[in-house]
A and B are shown apart, each in its own frame.
Chain A
Amino acid sequence: MNKQFNDDDITQLYMQSNDELPPKALDDAILAHAAAAVEPQSSPVVVNKNRGWQYSGIAAAIFAVAVFAPWQYYQAPEIVPAEPVIAESLTTQSVQSLTMPQAQKVLESAPPAELMEVLADDMHTEQFVVTGSRIKHEESEQELALSETKKGQESEPAVDAIDELAEEKILVAESSVVDKPSEQRVAMPQTEKVLQSEQVVEPVDEIDDGIQLERVAVTGSRIAATPEQQNLSKARKVNAAPPVAYDLNDKPQSEFSDVISKLESQDKTSAEEALIKLLQEQPALHKKVPKSLEALYFTLLESGKLIKPEQ
């Protein structure tokens, strides 16, 4: 059996009875897997339902924000405490630009206690806050006049307050520059009537936005109630301070003024004669000799020209 095989014989021999196939179960498994892999792509339905709920939720949120957010902003300015509004109106109207009749109307309309608190607050808040200069004092002066008007019979504390005000002006008078809106100058004539002190108001500078700088110098405190003010509140009776002269030690010298004037004019003889004459006429003044005349007084006692009476 020496058969020779060529390539065609080998190929033909191999192809004979070459009919093996995979088992039926394996075919079914592969086809089922292929069908399962294709089916899920044809049913994308669930996603659309969820998107519908998402869109509706987003729309509801936007609507709520658009409706309620402006409502919140609209209500916010109404939440304001009542008392600051009253104080603001009083300070801006009654203090800055009201004249005395208008101030009286305010006094009649507003409760007395409240008005006093408001005025007291304004006086506290608008005092001198100046470094080397000061605010022109119309408001404080006018409020002081109003408060004194309201106080009625309590005239002496009012005078004291005005005196203190004058003293403050003296203390700050050296370099006082006023920083004040020009609108407040409307009440200035009224204040000048109230305070008839020797004030020298010199306008220093005026800024573009209406702030006027003034130099204030006060050299006295002669204060008298104005006739208008007396008419407005008859209950107030302010007695003008006596025009006493003050020496260097702030002591009255009405009896010894003649002696002192002569002594200052270096007329010692006439001064001695005047002092002797005064003490002889009024022996009670031996205990009230001022310090400036004590040297002359003791010289006269030692020389025997003047005899101190025995008690």
Chain B
Amino acid sequence: MLDYGNGSQAAFAALYARHKGPLYRYVCRQLGAKQHSRAQELFQEIWLRVIDNRTHYKVEAKFTTWLYRIAHNLLVDEHRKLTARGEHLALVNDEHVEQGEQEQVMLAGNQADHENTVDNDYLQQAIKHCVELLVPQQRDAFLLRHEAGFEPSQVCDIVEAKPETVKTRLRYAMSQLRDCLQRKAGTAGTGGARQA
């Protein structure tokens, strides 16, 4: 980042290639599947801020910490806007119901012939769905920890919270995901047995 601040375009290209995937997925998971276009706009906005503030960057922390702090702040603002319009919860509920119906239909149709393959694909879709169902603070902590690969102390710096708070959010997130996956797995088994 210091090289890019001195005018090296290649340094920025290397930074972008290294961090574009995790950051893009972090933004997309935070906003959900229905906000995919909005997630791309936020992703571009994050990198524009990095470019504009290249001369103000100081080596006080890792570049990734600074990058994800910018992303975190923008996502907080976006969640506040969605909450103010009352759309966020409605989207979550609608998406939950819709995806639950689609999954049930899909699982019921494929369960008999490809039980193992479907089971794995189902769980991959289910985990993504369960992540979107998490509370925003828990989802944020989970994504920073397991998507971006930060240590819990770094997560504390990004979200500006105490370590205990972050650990609690991570523990609750994992518990919620476990229950969600077990519930979805049990629903899938129950639905297949009924259909059979």
Contacts and interface: CB of A to CB of B under 8 A. Distances in A.
B9 interface: yes
A13 to B, nearest CB: 5
Contact of B9 (A13, A23, A35): A35
Interface stretch (B39-47, B68-76, B81-89): B39-47
A3 B124 contact: no
Contacts of B128: 14
A129 interface: no
Given A37-B52, A38-B4, A5 B12 contact: no
Interface of B is mostly: helix
Contacts of B48: 30, 33
Given A1-B186, A23-B40, A30 B25 contact: no
Nearest to B187: A1
Contacts of A58: none
Nearest to B119: A1
Contacts of A34: 4, 9, 12-13, 16, 47, 51
Interface magnitude class on chain A:
20 to 34
Given A4-B182, A5-B182, A38-B9, A14 B131 contact: yes
B109 interface: no
Contacts of B123: 13
A31 B13 contact: yes
B40 A22 contact: yes
Interface stretch (B93-101, B151-159, B173-181): B173-181
Interface in B25-73: 25, 28, 40, 43-44, 47-48, 51-52, 54
Contact of B20 (A2, A22, A41): A22
Among B120, B146, B186, the one with the most A-chain Cβ atoms within 10 Å of its Cβ is B146
Interface in B105-133: 119-120, 123-124, 127-128, 131
Contacts of A10: 127, 174, 177-178, 181
A244 interface: no
B163 interface: no
Interface string A1-22: 1111111001101111111111
A7 B174 contact: yes
Given A14-B127, A21-B20, A30-B47, A42 B7 contact: yes
Interface of A is mostly: helix
Contact of A30 (B28, B44, B147, B174): B44
Contacts of B147: 14, 18
A232 to B, nearest CB: 102
Contact of A27 (B16, B146, B181): B16
A190 B20 CA distance: 120
A308 B36 CA distance: 159
A26 interface: yes
A22 B24 contact: yes
B141 interface: no
A13 B127 contact: yes
Nearest to B179: A5
Interface of B: 4, 7-9, 12-13, 16, 20-21, 24-25, 28, 40, 43-44, 47-48, 51-52, 54, 119-120, 123-124, 127-128, 131, 146-147, 174, 177-178, 181-182, 185-186, 188-189
6 closest pairs, A vs B, by CB? A1-B189, A22-B24, A30-B47, A34-B12, A13-B127, A34-B51
Interface of A: 1-7, 10-11, 13-23, 26-27, 29-31, 33-35, 37-38, 41-42
9 contacts: A1-B185, A1-B189, A6-B178, A7-B174, A20-B21, A20-B24, A21-B21, A35-B9, A38-B7
